[in-house]
Amino acid sequence: MGQALGCVQVDQSTVAVKEHFGKFDDVLDPGCHCLPWCFGYQLAGQLSLRVQQLDVRCETKTKDNVFVTVVASVQYRALAEKASDAFYKLSNTKGQIQSYVFDVIRASVPKLLLDSTFEQKNDIARAVEEELEKAMSAYGFEIVQTLIVDIEPDVHVKRAMNEINAAARLRLAANEKAEAEKILQIKRAEGEAESKYLSGLGIARQRQAIVDGLRDSVLAFSENVPGTTAKDVMDMVLVTQYFDTMKEIGASSKSSAVFVPHGPGAVKDIASQIREGLLQADSVKQ
């Protein structure tokens, strides 16, 4: 109805292209405009000034011959001051942008190894943006931003990369576990050595205490009972210890002692053996 009356409305963030008998005449800003069609004026079309986004999937290969799919996201918009160029010079804006993205990605990625491709994706995005900016500015478009949003290796390559990573982590875990076990064994050995050392000190002190006690007993008995010799005192001490030992064995219900044929006279034999050993030791010293 508006065009029939020679009036057109241009929405916000949009410009309209006016033609006069098929020739470009002017760019109409948002608002209401008079367009007398009877004088050969017509509305050729409208052009959005909003930022638009184009996602481009490009398959290429890296320097180490791994095929990857690079997903680039290009954000662009038409410039109001160059609306006529944006409207007339390009018939397929998205196709043109896609061609430039393919060209830059397929020229950049083959120079990089697979790992470097992931690390330098910002450099790839910058190269795409610079190339698009130079090319599309001549057609009235501005490249707002270019992002490399995804790099997808082949499925088999991705699985192999995961397996390599998993194997490396398992190897690291095994080394840490072995190191921990080594530390435990060292600490356990140090503890056993310290325990045996302290046990040896305890046994030595115990034997020293026994020897001191026997010496004191022999001296005290010899002084209090006239006419007794050191041999008599030692025989009596050995018999006393013999019966104490038998008492302890008999009092234990879970004793694992093994009895062999013996009698109280065996104590005399033990005393004789000890005495002979002492005499032999004295003779060797002399």
The string of pLDDT tens digits covering residues 215-270 is 777 677 667 766 666 666 666 667 777 777 777 776 766 666 555 555 555 555 66
The pTM of this model reads 0.54
Quote the CA–CA distance of 132 and 126 in Å, as a whole number: 10
Percent of the chain with pLDDT over 90: 10
Least Cα distance to 17 among 7, 25, 5 occurs for 25
CA distances from 61 to 73, 120, 232 (A): 19, 15, 104
Q: For 21-37, what is each residue's pLDDT tens digit?
A: 888 888 888 888 887 77
